[in-house]
Structure 1
């Protein structure tokens, strides 16, 4: 093996020790939903939030200082697996005003830099996230009318619905929201997303914001900004997803800047567009082994693309259309996390997300082919060793992902 290949082999073998397999779907994704509606000059905000985010300041302090989590509304219990917390429904019911105060201060709403007065108009606690999203004011009001569970729910799975009334001098203007509490440390495998639904206009418009709202998020009623937001999300997802990036790089290195590349990329695009839309709209099985199977197959498709490129046989249009179908499933899993299937403006969001994926794909192709062109003009002897080294590294890493994902598939089967 030549020196360039040995160097790239070593670097990518090292990378396999530190880079986890990219997962498109995580059961650890926690979603907070905020829906704002208008009645005259009064704004009503409906919030559905995982319980730990309502206590994020206390949880964060406990994590940093390594001390027990203390709140009058949480109860520590012992079980065979160790300690865990439950939401103390009796304490909440006996001291509703103090609990409402915690809810009131969990989020800060403002317009033109001025905080808006907030009044709690109702709340309830669920043992887990309800199946019905609060995608309309009617759905949110219905959820608020539900009674507490029969027993204290686990703190990590409990969800709180509550409603706030805001007095605004500009009820149709831009509304900002930000966390009122310090953030907690989510932990490995946990992601936090916020679904923001602006129902002040008809039909409503929805967008998303990542994290714990340490920085303000906006309700601006703009369909254009929402469309651009999901283009950004699509581009970001493919650029951050190593499996997708490596597939496109392998395709470019295998075919080069030829007409055949256009055919194969078009087939891949059509394939992932079909399954992205169909899967997101619910046209896929709900078997527990389905998602692990897709993730493993995606890794195998990258391995195939790398090996095929090394032997200069990158497959047919039909093969890459099939690979596109697989990757579209992966795209749909992540879009379901960041958007939710109950979003009111689902079709524009799907279209924008797909456009973003295509932009990201074009960026990867442009960068890869530009590097190849530059090497061909300035260091022709190094081009082939570097090409084979890169493809070998991609093959090794994707083979590692297949091995890493197989146990999850076998367990769920």
Structure 2
């Protein structure tokens, strides 16, 4: 019994840690997506890379000088605004030597063939204000974005965190079958561990889409295998639900509130059906596009955890209870599905190659992650139910109460979006 109680305490403590605040960093990161288009030819590989500028320069900030400011990173300058250190794009330096910035990108990216790092040629570089960048979902869009034009289209001051960088690198290696991509850089940015990396490999008529999370210090192996490519989205689906504390808490409350295996299946099936529907609808754009919608969904997800915790403590009566629970969890699953789709749509456009394969693999991964939680918790629930009634009721109540407290914190945080205009 001590072990079981310790499990629940550890589970909740880990969840709370996941919700802890982010560490401070030199640069704001307003976007954390990196896209790589890799085109094969008889001469070698062409890599078209898009990434936010902070990934290139954040770790290059120098030590503090006599004026109290750190030495600016290349292609930036610093200013103090309202007591806060801000970093701006140095457009004069950029126009004088844009290749230098591309060289920073080249130094951070590692393309290896048979374990040997390859040295690229720099073909071109373009910068865009965040939100005004041209499309980059397909190889043709990437080539168009890097076509000859001004290296940066505006003249007014702009924060480094609001600049996207496109770079075209050419690796003259001869024909290539398999290779790997990784990075050596460590920018020290908030949110960098959640970086969404998308790699699209174009080899003849075949297009393979790979997905990786984080800074990609571990190489991503590109072999041309369709199974290997799809498996990266499958793994991301599992990771997304297991590392999403709001999703984990909701599934946990569903499990401890189930009266029996039949009730558990009704809850899990309803949730699966609901979030599958809206994951697909949200990804393909069948959802409101107003700025209010995503914060509303996030707030509703937090409230759904409190509701699920209440259902766990006061489960519906037998008879039509399972049908009612199925309907409720299906509705709540609709909310969580939008949460999944927002993340996926960030990195995978509707017109991206193999979009259905990737979307299906991601959704299956989400289901497997959910099943893993069920397989872990349900045997412990059955064990607790064999103990005297007060032990099970007390344990269930404590878990539900802790989940509610965490969710209430999220409710307060997420409600600020709607309250700040009134302050």
Q: TM-score band, normalised by the shorter chain?
A: 0.7 to 0.9
Is 1:275 matched with 2:278? yes
What TM-score does the superposition give when structure 2 sets the normalisation length? 0.84
Cross-structure match for 2:178: 174
DSSP-derived class of the 2:32 partner: strand
Whether the aligned pair in 2 keeps the contact of 1:256 and 1:369 (CA below 8 Å) is no
DSSP-derived class of the 1:206 partner: strand
Whether the aligned pair in 1 keeps the contact of 2:195 and 2:215 (CA below 8 Å) is yes
Is 1:155 matched with 2:154? no
| Alpha-carbon distance change, 49 to 271 in structure 1, aligned in 2, over 3 angstroms | same
**Shift of residue 27 of structure 1?**
8.1
What TM-score does the superposition give when structure 1 sets the normalisation length? 0.86
**Residues of 1 paired with 2:190 and 2:123: CA distance?**
33
Is 1:75 matched with 2:74? no
**Residues of 1 paired with 2:217 and 2:369: CA distance?**
27
DSSP-derived class of the 2:161 partner: coil
Cross-structure match for 2:32: 30
Whether the aligned pair in 2 keeps the contact of 1:38 and 1:200 (CA below 8 Å) is yes
Whether the aligned pair in 2 keeps the contact of 1:21 and 1:404 (CA below 8 Å) is no
**Shift of residue 289 of structure 1?**
1.1
Cross-structure match for 2:263: 260
**Residues of 1 paired with 2:119 and 2:7: CA distance?**
59
Cross-structure match for 1:222: 225
Of 186, 190, 203, which aligns to 1:187? 190
**Shift of residue 165 of structure 1?**
0.9
Whether the aligned pair in 2 keeps the contact of 1:272 and 1:325 (CA below 8 Å) is yes
Counterpart mapping for 1:71-220 below 5 A: 71-79=73-81, 82-128=84-130, 130-145=132-147, 146-147=149-150, 148-151=152-155, 152-171=157-176, 173-180=177-184, 182-187=185-190, 191-220=194-223
Whether the aligned pair in 1 keeps the contact of 2:29 and 2:161 (CA below 8 Å) is no
Deviates more, 1:9-18 or 1:334-343: 9-18
Consecutive unaligned residues in structure 1, runs of 5 or more: 1-5
| Alpha-carbon distance change, 185 to 67 in structure 1, aligned in 2, over 3 angstroms | farther
| Alpha-carbon distance change, 225 to 7 in structure 1, aligned in 2, over 3 angstroms | closer
Is 1:322 matched with 2:307? no
Whether the aligned pair in 2 keeps the contact of 1:58 and 1:69 (CA below 8 Å) is no
Is 1:391 matched with 2:394? no
Cross-structure match for 1:3: none
Deviates more, 1:117-126 or 1:207-216: 207-216
**Shift of residue 262 of structure 1?**
1.8
Consecutive unaligned residues in structure 2, runs of 5 or more: 23-27
Cross-structure match for 1:248: 251
Cross-structure match for 1:46: 48
| Alpha-carbon distance change, 191 to 363 in structure 1, aligned in 2, over 3 angstroms | closer
**Shift of residue 163 of structure 1?**
0.6
Q: How many residues align?
A: 403
**Residues of 1 paired with 2:71 and 2:331: CA distance?**
50
**Shift of residue 409 of structure 1?**
3.3
**Shift of residue 58 of structure 1?**
0.4
**Residues of 1 paired with 2:224 and 2:47: CA distance?**
14
Whether the aligned pair in 2 keeps the contact of 1:86 and 1:155 (CA below 8 Å) is yes
Deviates more, 1:354-363 or 1:93-102: 93-102
Whether the aligned pair in 1 keeps the contact of 2:41 and 2:175 (CA below 8 Å) is no
**Shift of residue 348 of structure 1?**
1.0
| Alpha-carbon distance change, 133 to 361 in structure 1, aligned in 2, over 3 angstroms | same
**Shift of residue 275 of structure 1?**
0.2
Deviations 1:231-263 (A, max 9, x none): 111111111222222222222222233323322
**Residues of 2 paired with 1:219 and 1:8: CA distance?**
39
Whether the aligned pair in 1 keeps the contact of 2:69 and 2:78 (CA below 8 Å) is no
Deviations 1:47-79 (A, max 9, x none): 1121122224404x659xx96143452233454
Deviates more, 1:282-291 or 1:369-378: 369-378
**Residues of 1 paired with 2:6 and 2:115: CA distance?**
54
Deviations 1:361-384 (A, max 9, x none): 112222221002223446766222
Whether the aligned pair in 1 keeps the contact of 2:42 and 2:175 (CA below 8 Å) is no
| Alpha-carbon distance change, 52 to 339 in structure 1, aligned in 2, over 3 angstroms | same
Cross-structure match for 2:25: none
| Alpha-carbon distance change, 185 to 317 in structure 1, aligned in 2, over 3 angstroms | same
**Residues of 2 paired with 1:291 and 1:80: CA distance?**
30
